[in-house]
Amino acid sequence: MGGNLKGALLRGGVSVALILFVLWRFQDKLAQVWEMLASANLWWVLVAVLLFWTAMLINAFKWWTLLRAQNIQVPFSAMANFTFVGFFFNNILPANIGGDVMRGYGLAKYTEENAGAAASVVLDRLIGLSAYMSVAAVAALAAVFFTGRSELWPLAAVAVAALAVLLIMGAFLISRRISRAISRLLHRGFLAKIVPIWDSLAAAFERYRFQYKTLALAFLIGLTGIAATSMVNYVLSLALGGGIPLVDIFLFTPLIALVLIIPISIGGLGLSQAAYPFFYGLVGVPGELALALSLFVQAVQLFCSLPGGVLWLLWKKEEGEPAGDVA
């Protein structure tokens, strides 16, 4: 408990430090940022909200597709429920991984398939990140070759390297030979007590072995979700008056999402405001516009996560547990 509290305080401190840094850096541009936000086109904001909810449903469909490959039958409405709750916790827990824990928790309680739930969540995350990095790599290479932006070569290299690592991790998880080797090593060490847990997880991952069509379909669904999320950023930039090319949106949306996974802040607060001006500044987008976009995106995310908070309260009501008990 003490460790969790210290970690939360540390991440809160990082968020505050980053916010103070951003305020200091843009101290002479804050009035412009506020003017952009105050004069934003609210119709475009409404479109962004609808697009964001659409992206969440697309991601729920991707996860549902992976789960069906394990012959675990769960209604899509339930998967959407878990996805919205997970997204709510992404915004109040460190980084974007707290929501994965809540998604797995909800699914495990619904199906009583702990290993299957954990495997589907992990693989869903890996496929989603692989799709993000694929889009980032293609967008970066396109920007280099078609617009002559040679300064984007390092970003293209990072995206390709990250994609390669994610694909290797996925292959590692579904490999029967590797899972059995790990099991043998665990039997010989002091971690022998967790062998049954590992074997259950390994068996769940092995169900995806040779499920090439399912994995490819999940990847394509992930690309669709990324397109929707990127369009949210683009539509919000239009609400602020435009000025950011769509290719740049598709390039930096996945890279910023990767940065926000780093568990050093609370819900990405501060980290997002530092990341947007940094990345978009590489292609000449004014810092005040990038900062305003980051604030708008985070506000839309928070608003769109509210249904997940309501659904979580309903979970607790059905379980007869106090709403303050997350675990």
Task: List pLDDT tens digits, range 164-202.
Answer: 888 887 777 777 777 777 777 766 666 666 667 666 777
pLDDT value, residue 294:
94
Q: Is 50 exceeded by the pLDDT of residue 324?
A: no
Asked whether residue 324 is assigned to any structural domain, the reply reads no
How far is residue 290's CA from residue 276's CA, in Å, rounded to a whole number? 6
Q: Residue holding tokens 């009583």?
A: 112
pLDDT value, residue 43:
95
What pTM value is reported for the model?
A: 0.83
Residue 186 is part of which domain span? 43-319
Asked whether residue 292 is assigned to any structural domain, the reply reads yes
- Report residue 322's pLDDT band, with 50, 70 and 90 as the boundaries: very low
**Least confident window among 148-162, 219-233, 310-324:** 310-324
* Cβ neighbours of 175 (radius 10 Å): 16
Contact between 275 and 262 under an 8 Å Cβ cutoff? The reply is no
Asked whether residue 267 is assigned to any structural domain, the reply reads yes
pLDDT value, residue 189:
62
Asked whether residue 188 is assigned to any structural domain, the reply reads yes
**Least confident window among 86-95, 278-287, 299-308:** 86-95
**Least confident window among 40-54, 77-91, 157-171:** 157-171
On the 0-12 / 13-18 / 19+ scale of CB atoms within 10 A, 282 is middle
Asked whether residue 327 is assigned to any structural domain, the reply reads no
The string of pLDDT tens digits covering residues 17-36 is: 888 988 899 989 999 999 99
Q: Is 80 exceeded by the pLDDT of residue 12?
A: no
How far is residue 258's CA from residue 131's CA, in Å, rounded to a whole number? 11
Asked whether residue 20 is assigned to any structural domain, the reply reads no
Tokens of 69: 């490959």
- Residues 6+ away with beta carbon under 8 Å from 29: 287, 288, 291
Asked whether residue 34 is assigned to any structural domain, the reply reads no
Query: 232 or 254: whose pLDDT is higher?
Result: 232
Q: What is the mean predicted confidence (pLDDT) over 261-282?
A: 82
Rank 147-156, 248-257, 259-268 by mean pLDDT and report only the highest: 248-257
Query: 228 or 144: whose pLDDT is higher?
Result: 228
Q: Mean pLDDT, the chain, as a whole number?
A: 82
How far is residue 92's CA from residue 267's CA, in Å, rounded to a whole number? 5
233 closest CA partner among 161, 139, 301: 301
- Report residue 220's pLDDT band, with 50, 70 and 90 as the boundaries: very high
Residue type, 99: G
Q: Is 90 exceeded by the pLDDT of residue 321?
A: no
pLDDT value, residue 325:
46
| Number of domains observed in the structure of the chain | 1
Asked whether residue 296 is assigned to any structural domain, the reply reads yes
Q: What is the mean predicted confidence (pLDDT) over 148-165?
A: 77
